[in-house]
Amino acid sequence: MDIQSIKQRFGIIGNAPLLIRAIDTASRVANTDLTVLIEGESGVGKEAISKIIHELSKRKHEPSIAINCGAIPEGTINSELFGHEKGAFTGATGERKGYFETVSGGTIFLDEIGEMPLDTQAFLLRVLESGEFIRVGSSKVQKTDVRVIAATNVNLQQKIKQGKFREDLYYRLNTVPIKLPSLNERREDIHLLFRKFASDFAGKYRTEPIRVTENGRKLLEQYQWPGNIRELRNLVEQISVLSEKQLLDIDDLIDIAPKLAQRNLPALTNGKDGGTSFEEREILYKFLFDMKGDLNDLKNLVYSLIKSNNLNIPDVAQLKNLSDVSAQNLSQMRPAFDNASNYNEIDLEDNKAIILEQFANDDFKDTMEVEESLHLEQKTIELIQKALKKHKGRRKEAAEELGISERTLYRKIKEHNIQE
């Protein structure tokens, strides 16, 4: 079965390469009895991968069960998985079969395997290695034939270092690893998922499906989605119920879900904004970095001019750091210029013409030194205008050049009434 058929059969939405790779691995390993470990953040759809493996395997007609190891109390999980005998513990009024006994021949999906207690891990390791288990309160060894698929949203190797997970069990489970990408790693699929959920909830609530503008779409794609697909689905349902519009822009989305406007960039703060927004500081930092680059370019230019024209400088290497060039150093370059009526008359020791020889006196006009404005708002407007001009009005490229989001750029354009 090809990938597209698998996606349609199991209702999987998305075309991200990492997702396709995970589905492909699941389909290839399905018809074996190898143990699979599915890794991924909470809410990325790990259980869907386990269903693919079971439904495409030779065990598809046998029972399958999903167990959340983190949801079962530590004192009862052994009984739930392996069963118990009558009187094995307080409240055990009769014998009980565990999941490994009742699902024999089928598949068990152990979600949040990292939360499994250490003693239960030892019992599970024995099942994986020999297919044997013992009920709680019994001494009789029983056999089972179960395919185990495990999943985790935590780093199991870190758990091993902390002494909370058995290393031998980890390598036994990790026979075939499958990594499911987070929504941040498959942003191209966010709008596809949004449309699918919007259509589902429109049918559920008998309304028209909600849609988003291009800017609204970009806002969704820029959000971090810590809850992944589960969070996106809940948001679409919330908007479907609360929104009075079918077509939503940035402001409409933020009005219903203010968290979409959150940015996860680091910032230092002392609790006082001082009238300067975070976006303006971003632009200022970009401006300062550009100035630093221009200064370095100027240093290199001066250094190359002096080196190529053999200007009489005691130590040319001093110009690699502009702060080391003193007035005394520079004064040694002045006579050649002061005694010439124009730049063409400048003659150095080896008669090499300086790079500026093509200019004549009348090319230089009287100038007046004007103090540059350092007003933050004015600099913000100038930088935005330069970026838009450089990229011919394309806001996405201009925003990337400025180091800010396109939504922030759009807001600043409106705020300052900048002509594009």
Tens digit of each residue's pLDDT (9 = 90 or more) over 328-349: 444 454 444 445 444 444 444 4
Instruction: Delineate the domains of the chain, giving CATH numbers in brackets.
Output: 3-181 (3.40.50.300), 184-261 (1.10.8.60), 278-326+371-420 (no CATH), 333-364 (no CATH)
Question: How many angstroms separate the CA atoms of 372 and 385, rounded?
Answer: 17
Average pLDDT, stretch 194-199?
Answer: 96
Beta bridge pairs of residue 179: 39
Q: What is the pLDDT of residue 375?
A: 66
Burial grade of 230 (CB within 10 A; 0-12, 13-18, 19 or more)? middle
Distances from the Cα of 414 to the Cα of 308, 364, 411, angstroms: 49, 41, 5
Q: What is the pLDDT of residue 312?
A: 58
Q: What is the pLDDT of residue 219?
A: 94
In percent, how much of the chain has pLDDT > 70? Answer: 77
Give the lowest-confidence range in 189-198, 199-208, 209-218, 367-376.
367-376
pLDDT: which is higher, 132 or 312: 132
Q: What is the pLDDT of residue 190?
A: 96
The DSSP code for 107 is: E
In percent, how much of the chain has pLDDT > 90? Answer: 58
Q: Which residues 6+ apart lie within 8 Å of 263 measured at CB?
A: 278, 405
Q: What is the pLDDT of residue 261?
A: 87
Cβ–Cβ under 8 Å, residues 69 and 118: no
The helix or strand, by DSSP H or E, that contains position 253, with its residue range, turns out to be: helix 250-256
Q: What is the pLDDT of residue 351?
A: 43
Distances from the Cα of 17 to the Cα of 24, 188, 269, 381, angstroms: 10, 10, 39, 39
Q: pLDDT tens for residues 350-366?
A: 444 444 444 444 444 45
Q: pLDDT tens for residues 380-402?
A: 888 888 888 888 888 888 888 88
Query: What is the pLDDT of the chain when averaged over all its residues?
Result: 82
pTM of the model: 0.62
Burial grade of 93 (CB within 10 A; 0-12, 13-18, 19 or more)? exposed
Token couple for 378: 């004015």
pLDDT: which is higher, 115 or 387: 115
Q: Are strands 141-143 and 132-134 parallel, antiparallel or unpaired?
A: antiparallel
Distances from the Cα of 332 to the Cα of 136, 315, 327, angstroms: 95, 12, 9
Beta bridge pairs of residue 109: 66, 149
Q: What is the pLDDT of residue 198?
A: 96
Reported as a pLDDT band with limits 50, 70 and 90, residue 272 is: very low
